[in-house]
Structure 1
Amino acid sequence: MSLIFFIGTLMMTAVVTYGFNLDNFDQLNDAKKSPDKWIVIKNLLVPAGKTLDLTGLQNNTVIEFTGHVTFGYQEWEGTLITLKGKNITVLGKRGHLLDGGGQRWWDGKGGNGGKKKPRFIQVSLVDSTVTGLHIKNSPRHCFMINSSQNLRVQNTTIDIKDGAKSGGHNTDGFGVSSSRNVTISNSVVYNQDDCFATTSGSDTVFENAKCVGGHGISIGSMGSGNVVERVVIRNCRVLGNTNGIRIKTRRGETGAVKNVTFDDIEMKDISKYGVVIQGNYYNSGPKGDPTPFPIENLVIRNVRGHVAKSGTNILVWVAPGSAKNWTWGSKITGGSKENPCKGVPQSLPIRCGKK
């Protein structure tokens, strides 16, 4: 036996094939039953009106996205990708792309009318990690986290820049609800709505993010008896958004916001409000006097930046007695539009509505 043949044979026997290569949508159910619990999703076309349904996964499954994943066009209000399971690892490999093709649906109306538009991805994960996803052009809401626990989402890029000129609307980046102990770190979001928003749940961290072109970082909108508590938003840059940071509670509804911290937030070229906390929120715009709604133990620390001259640096409009135990440290400049404030805790150093 020649030395070359021996080495070649040895190399061939050393090759290990792992994972179920899912490149045909019809094989989805077989992939979820893969005995080695490793699904490689590569260059997959998801048919129009169908969901890439990654629910019912075996515990300890690895989902690996590689290549280009695309979706057929149909007007519908479903979800393009769903993920559900325990001890799940989701990996976006270098060079992959999850392309929603949102421009086919965009009409400037988002979820408020016009074409029926699907959401992009919804996850319900426990004791799991999602790393390195690159998402492009969601038709509307992009990355929704619901009923999750002990979840870490990291190094995510949400690129909906095209929506700015092509009618993208309600293209929210991350949304968290009914979840506990969720951390989202090292993300970049280009979109036309909230970069991040949480509407219920506890022990949420949103950190090390860059938000461009959207509506800012939000708590809410709050109502329906929901409670948000123990949230930390830190080390974020908010650039070219309509708002910097905001808390919005809906008029006439109940719930609570407790123990929320905004720390080390830099904003630049904000068009409307640097910091806005309002208790009379409607989707169509604020109306009337604010409704009593507890916003307790709020910390604003090292929140800084610039608002356009036509905008307002700080607006607080909450029912008297709603705000309790606030700590405030901000330096926001530029805005010249002055608005009256309501419900600000006494002796709090807020230059409300001022330059």
Structure 2
Amino acid sequence: MVLFAVLSILLLGVGVNLVSALPNTEPVPTTVAKLEDRATTCTFTNAASASKSKTSCSTIVLSSIAVPSGTTLDMTGLKTGTTVIFEGTTTFGYKEWSGPLISFSGTSITINGASGHVIDGNGAACNGGKTKPKFFYAHSLKSSTISNLNVKNTPVQGFSINTATDLTLTHITIDNSAGDTNSLGHNTDAFDIGSSTRITISGANVKNQDDCLAINSGTDITFTGGTCSGGHGLSITQGSVGGRSYNTVANVLIESSTVTNSQNGVRIKTVYGATGSVTNVTYKDITLSNISKYGIVIQQDYENGSPTGTPTTGVPITDLTLSNVKGSVRSSATGIYILCGDGSCSNWSWSSVSVTGGKTLTSYTNVPSGISLG
């Protein structure tokens, strides 16, 4: 029995050695395969390659890309968690078309700019009553960030934020000041927001010829620490609220920002004859300087790019707070202009609101009770 036991142990030992000597036929772990399939960092120098191979990379570097005319730098449908870095100078060929020049979508996407980079939209080439391409679609971006981008010369609107959720934009510089001469710049909104929720824009530095911020529709939106110059102000607008299929603006905080050398400072405009709502909007700690038309303007008569002079009540403006909104307008401007429909503006709270200068200090119709305009 003892001999049998010893032989069994020896045989078992041989068996173990034989098994260990055989080649490993197990499949490679799935995680390793994924890492091999998706390179850590890809650097692209042309738009076609970047768009074609974008899902193979966890980090994408767009290095001094010259995007051909009539082409979108297509970064839509990125894999979850992708990082994209703009490096060097990104340029765009000229063509009369609607764009966009750049488009992103995805979840947990990080977009930023390397030190010294520039994204030049070639806006001057698109002037003269031509169809102009929109600049940057941030559509269907979820739980994502866009930061430290240096943009100049957008042909028309800059960042179109639509159907986005939990999107943060920080330290975006948009310099369209070249459009101030020779009537080059038109409709150069910096940030257009529509049908989106939980959007935060902080530390923006904007020089343009239209709205610095234009909230068309959406909820839970914050704009803070912004510097706006040359445009139409900080706006709840939609070309205006009431002109689309989704016409709700709610829970908006616009704070700690300056508006200088602009047509308007604080602005809310709703569409004549339309329906929708603007509710729970706060402007706080806003400084105005050298405003040429209206320091504060709230109107419910917007139609086809110009006011009718007759307000309608289909888009009520309720729970509006202005706190510490101060500054000056030019001698030819109006300090505060309010044109509300009968009963369609209510529950407003204004404190430390002061606009000086202007040919007319205040002009108003149907201001909610309890609001003193001086």
Q: What TM-score, normalized to structure 1?
A: 0.90
Partner of 1:79: 100
Deviation, structure 1 residue 339: 6.0
Q: CA offset at residue 326 of structure 1?
A: 0.2
Partner residue of 1:346?
Answer: 369
Contact 2:278–2:316 at 8 Å: present in 1 too? yes
CA distance in 2, matches of 1:18, 1:340: 60
For each residue in 1:137-160, what CA deviation from the matched residue of structure 2 results, as whole angstroms up to 9, or x when unmatched? 000001110110011100100000
Alignment of 1:264 with 2:281, yes or no, is no
Further displaced range: 153-162 or 219-228: 219-228
The answer for the alignment partner of 1:37 in structure 2 is 58
Find 2:137's aligned residue among 113, 117, 122. Answer: 122
8 Å contact kept, 1:320–1:344? no
**Counterpart code for 1:193:** D
Q: Compute the displacement of 1:18 (Å).
A: 4.7
Q: Could you tell me how far apart the structure 1 residues matched to 2:51 and 2:94 are?
A: 22
Residue in 1 that maps onto 2:333: 311
CA distance in 2 between counterparts of 1:23 and 1:283 reads 42
Identity %: 43
Correspondences of 1:145-164 after superposition (within 5 Å): 145-164=161-180
Shift in Å at residue 87 of structure 1? 0.5
Residue 119 of structure 1 aligns to a residue whose secondary structure is: coil
Distance in structure 1 (CA, Å) of the matches to 2:341 and 2:309: 11
Counterpart Cα distance in 1 of 2:362 and 2:280? 26
Counterpart of 1:60? Answer: 81
Matching residue's letter, 2:79: Q
State whether structure 2 residue 350 is matched by structure 1 residue 331.
no
- Report SS of the residue matched to 1:183: strand
Change (3 A) 1:283 1:266: farther
How far is 1:338 from its partner? 5.7
Amino acid in structure 2 at the alignment position of 1:48: S
Q: Secondary structure at the match of 2:180?
A: helix
Measured at CA, do residues 312 and 18 of structure 1 come closer, stay the same or move farther in structure 2, by a change above 3 Å? same
Distance 1:340 1:305 in 2: 17
Cα distance change, pair 328–33 in 1 and its aligned pair in 2 (3 A):
same
C-alpha contact 1:51 1:82 (8 A) present in aligned 2: yes
Q: Which residue of 2 aligns with 1:274?
A: 295
- The equivalent position to 2:205 in structure 1, one of 172, 188, 193, is 188
Give the secondary structure class of the aligned counterpart of 1:104: helix
Q: Residues 176 and 207 of structure 2 are in contact (CA less than 8 Å); yes or no, is this contact kept in structure 1?
A: yes
Instruction: Please tell me whether the aligned partners of residues 336 and 363 of structure 2 are also in contact (alpha carbons under 8 angstroms).
Output: no
The alpha-carbon deviation at position 31 of structure 1 amounts to: 2.9
Are 2:106 and 1:90 aligned?
A: no
Q: Which moved more, 1:303-312 or 1:21-30?
A: 21-30
Check the 8 A contact 1:328/1:350 in 2, yes or no: no
Write the distance in 1 (CA, Å) between the matches of 2:370 and 2:280.
Answer: 20
1:90-110 per-position Cα deviation (integer Å, ceiling 9, x unaligned):
011110010001000123xxx
| Displacement of 1:26 | 2.6
Letter in 2 for 1:64: I
Question: Structure 1 CA distance, aligned partners of 2:209 and 2:308?
Answer: 23
Match for residue 247 of structure 2 among 219, 226, 241: 226
1:3-22 matched pairs, under 5 angstroms: 18-22=40-44
Q: How many angstroms does 1:272 deviate by?
A: 0.6
Q: Tell me which residue corresponds to 2:15.
A: none
| Structure number with larger C-alpha Rg | 2
5+ residue gaps, structure 1, are: 1-16, 108-113
Equivalent residue pairs, number:
328
Shift of 1:318: 0.8
Q: Residues 22 and 31 of structure 1 are in contact (CA less than 8 Å); yes or no, is this contact kept in structure 2? A: no
Distance in structure 1 (CA, Å) of the matches to 2:318 and 2:308: 23
Measure, in 2, the Cα distance between the counterparts of 1:226 and 1:158.
27
Q: Which amino acid aligns with 2:176?
A: I
Q: Which residue of 2 aligns with 1:143?
A: 159
Normalising by structure 2, what TM-score? 0.86
Task: Describe how 1:188-207 pairs up with structure 2 within 5 A.
Answer: 188-207=205-224
Note the aligned Cα RMSD (angstroms). 1.3
Alignment match of 2:46 (pick from 17, 24, 38): 24
SS at match of 2:124: helix
Distance in structure 2 (CA, Å) of the matches to 1:157 and 1:29: 25
Residue in 1 aligned with 2:194? 177
